[in-house]
Amino acid sequence: MSDVIDLIYGAALGEGATWPDLGSQLCSMFRAQRVSLSIPDAPGVLRYLLGGGNEYADAYAAYYHRIDPFRQRAERIFHGLNRATLHAVIGEQIVPDDVLLKSEFYVDFARGAGVRHLLGGMLGVRAATPIGIQRDARSGPFDEGDRQLLMMLLPHLQRALQLEERLALANRTQLGTGALDTLAISVVIVDGTMRVLHANAAANRLMDAGHCGLAMTRSGPRPGVGAITLLARHPDDHSTLGKLIASVAMGGALRLRNTRDEPAQHASLAVLVSPAVSHFLSDVRDACRVLRGTATVVIRQLNHALRPPPGLMSELYGLTKAEADVALRFSGGATVEDVARVRQVSLETVRTQVKTILRKTNAASLRDLERIIAISSALVPTQL
């Protein structure tokens, strides 16, 4: 038992053991042919920790987990227990033999895969997380002693999965999330229920100040990892934002009110919602892909000018100090006349400078120059 417990934590922490090592040891302990443990990676997508990497696991993850009577019944039991109690049960106690042997799951899948008897346990990490220990017909059914043995292991498996998730959150894409933290614009990554997966430094500063129409709130009796949700302060805005995030595949934008009393026509918090990509929330070695059901929320206060320092404009585009100052004054829709008046120079002087600025920045017009300035302003945080 102690060796198996060591393997559980070693696999979760990546210290001297792997999940397949644990699977082999569990098969020996329970005289079983297969152990499966999968966690939801995204809505409708399973990631195997134990029992993956074979035709059986691929077929199960692709389709048969949806009609698995053991899994369906176990999840109902889990929710009935209000996710508070770890639970282990012998398969025949979940699904009677006469029901199992007639089911599509058994006839089309389990029989061919050599799965006849099951010992199941249910963990609760982010969602119902079942572990299944499976025997073929020759090995015979599990008994109460096997169930008690699994019950002794479940608390350790639960804690190990929680540790793995916390470590994953701490170590996720230092390149991706680190890049987000250097931005001056606020970026929050959420799942389809508006649970916050990552908020960059600018977003934390913006919402900590309490003067914008968005907030990040903790929920649940023991808030912790994954227990923070994004909330729009105005109920109507919150509903609209939630719908936009839930249907993120198309993307979209909206304006939010900063207070519950602010008229809709004065809403000054601009929000852009688009699908998130895996490089923000996975290992940098993984292929870059859109994460289904996960959204990137970019936030900007329209009534707060966001400009890069003049020195950055000079470094990026080779502008002189005077040209950089002139370029930045066009941010926000200023005209040539406005800039000439503020700088107390002639219109001709400003027009000459504008031509040079447009050439050096490769901008097509002053409005295009504004776009370039906005992009450049995102490169340097407003506070360090």
Identify the domain boundary among 301, 336, 366: 301
- Beta-carbon contacts of residue 259 (< 8 Å; ≥ 6 apart): 213, 233, 234
Asked whether residue 320 falls in the same domain as residue 228, the answer is: no
The total of structural domains in the chain comes to: 3
First to last CA, the chain: 50
Question: What CATH number is attached to the domain comprising 22?
Answer: 3.30.450.40
| Interacting residues of 320 by C-beta distance below 8 A, sequence separation 6+ | 314
Assess whether 154 and 33 both reside in one domain. yes
64 and 156 assigned to the same domain: yes
Q: Is residue 82 part of a domain?
A: yes
0.75 exceeded by pTM = no
Buried b (16+ CB within 10 A) or exposed e, 210-247: eebbbebeeeeeeeeebebbbbbbbeebbebbbebbee
In this structure, are 8 and 150 located in the same domain?
Answer: yes
CB 90 within 8 A of CB 141: yes
pLDDT tens column, 25-72: 999 999 999 898 877 665 556 677 888 767 777 787 778 878 888 877
Q: Of 129, 153, 170, which closes a domain?
A: 170
Burial 175-199 (b: 16+ CB within 10 A, else e): ebbeebbebbbbbbbbbbebbbbbb
Does 152 lie in the same domain as 61?
Answer: yes
> pLDDT tens, position by position, for the chain (384 residues)?
888 888 888 888 777 788 888 999 999 999 999 898 877 665 556 677 888 767 777 787 778 878 888 877 776 766 666 555 567 888 888 888 888 888 888 888 888 888 888 898 887 655 667 888 999 989 999 999 999 999 999 888 888 887 777 665 555 445 455 567 667 778 888 888 888 888 888 888 888 776 788 888 865 443 334 468 898 888 889 999 988 888 765 567 888 888 777 777 777 788 888 887 654 544 444 444 445 568 888 888 776 666 778 888 888 889 999 999 999 888 766 888 999 999 999 999 999 999 999 999 988 888 888 878 877 776 555 443
**Do residue 141 and residue 236 come from a single domain?**
no
Token digits of residue 324:
């950089």
384 in any annotated domain: no
Q: How many CB atoms lie within 10 A of CB 30?
A: 19
For residue range 286-296, list pLDDT tens digits in order. Answer: 444 445 568 88
